[in-house]
Amino acid sequence: MTTTYLLDGRCEISNNAAERRAKTYVTGRKNFLFHDTADGATASAIVLSLIETAKANNLNIYHYLYTLLLYMPDYKNEPAGIKQLLPWSDFIKERCTGIIDIEKVRPEERGNLNI
């Protein structure tokens, strides 16, 4: 039996937080009809990871995914652009926190990342 959490105060006593995060996936699992291939399962894991990371950073999930899909195609090969799109960056925090009117941000008016 390991007692690492007794040696390091930063360690959690239980894994309840991780289990609560996995619950959203387990609840929707019956509805995932596209999991008949490895690619479908990989796509699902990526999207659910993005959603859970947005939740952990207190972001508006819909707006975070919208912003990623809006900017990612232009900056997918630029490390500085990817850093701007991480959920803890200032660029994302100012655009994806709270309730935001998505109608004001159109693809043709998106501008550039400040890299």
pLDDT digits (tens, 9 = 90+) for 12-52: 777 777 777 767 666 666 666 656 777 877 887 888 888 88
pTM to 2 decimal places: 0.64
Question: Identity (one letter) of the amino acid at 25?
Answer: Y
Chain-wide mean pLDDT for the chain?
A: 77
Q: How does residue 75 score in pLDDT terms, banded at 50, 70 and 90?
A: confident
- Please state, in angstroms and rounded to a whole number, the distance separating the CA atoms of residues 61 and 97: 9
Mean pLDDT calculated for residue range 78-87: 86
Mean pLDDT calculated for residue range 86-101: 82
Mean pLDDT calculated for residue range 68-95: 86
pLDDT at 109: 63
pLDDT at 45: 80
With a pLDDT cut of 90, the percent of the chain lying above it is 3
| Residue 24 Ramachandran class (φ > 0 left, ψ -120 to 50 alpha, else beta) | alpha
- Cα radius of gyration rounded to whole Å, the chain: 18
58 by DSSP, 3-state: which? coil
